Each structure stands twice: as C-alpha cells, then as structure tokens.
Amino acid sequence: MAEFPMVAVLIVMIGLLIIQAALIVHTRNTLVDAAVQGAHHAALVGSTPQDGADRAERLIAERFGDGLDAAATASQEPDGTIHVHVSATLPLVGLFGPGGTLSVEGRALDEDSI
C-alpha cells in the first residue's frame, strides 16, 4: 500500500523535471535563433547593427510575447563581424515563478566588409 504513493510522487517529479528541462532548452534555442537571425539581418548591405538588434527583439516578442523581458544589443568589430547579444529572464519553474538570466550571442560577417 505505501509503495504506490511514494513511487507515484517520484514518477510525477521526474516527469515535471523533464518537461522543465525541455522548456529551458526550447527557450535557449529560440533565443539563439533570434540572435543569429538578427546578426544576419544586420550583416546585409545597407543595414546597421541596431537593425539586427531590433529584429532579434521583434522575433523574440513574436515567439514569446513580453514574458521573457529580452533585450538585444549589437556591435560591430573592426574585422567586420557583427555580434548580436541577447539577454533574457528565463523561468526556472514552469512558465512563471522565479527566473534566472540567460545570455546568448549570434554572429555574422558584414557584407560591406567583404
């Protein structure tokens, strides 16, 4: 009798941890994709690094809304490499609850420098 509740609680906890891990990995991969897309957009002829940062923030807002409090910054190195850096608040428990900070970066080579 006592084994079933103990095992059931353990199985439910493992299931919730797997779901949370999948949510974190999905969020990270989506932020990386937005940073890379922003860097590629900034690398186009006629675009500025700020255009890339704006595109990254727009992509994140389309995918997650305003729940992540994401901010993107862009810079250009002297060698022509454009870096788009995205920082966001990652929920550590479900979609709500306490959060931690996640930072990712995307890079692209500026077409004007080629």
Domain limits for position 43: 3-113
**Are the C-beta atoms of residues 90 and 101 closer than 8 Å to each other?**
yes
The 10 Å Cβ neighbour count of residue 26 is: 11
Residue 97 has what pLDDT? Answer: 65
Domain count of the chain?
A: 1
* Angle between helix 49-64 and helix 3-43 axes, rounded to 10 deg: 150
- CA-atom Rg of the chain in angstroms: 19
Residue 105 has what pLDDT? Answer: 95
Residue 64 has what pLDDT? Answer: 86
Domain CATH code at residue 95:
3.10.450
Whole-prediction pTM: 0.85
How confident is the prediction along the chain (114 residues), in pLDDT tens digits per residue?
788 889 999 999 999 889 888 888 998 999 999 999 999 999 998 889 999 999 999 999 999 888 788 899 999 999 989 999 999 988 777 666 667 888 999 999 988 776
Residue 43 has what pLDDT? Answer: 92
Exposure string over 41-67, b if 16+ CB within 10 A, otherwise e:
bbbeeebebebbbbbbbebbeeebeee
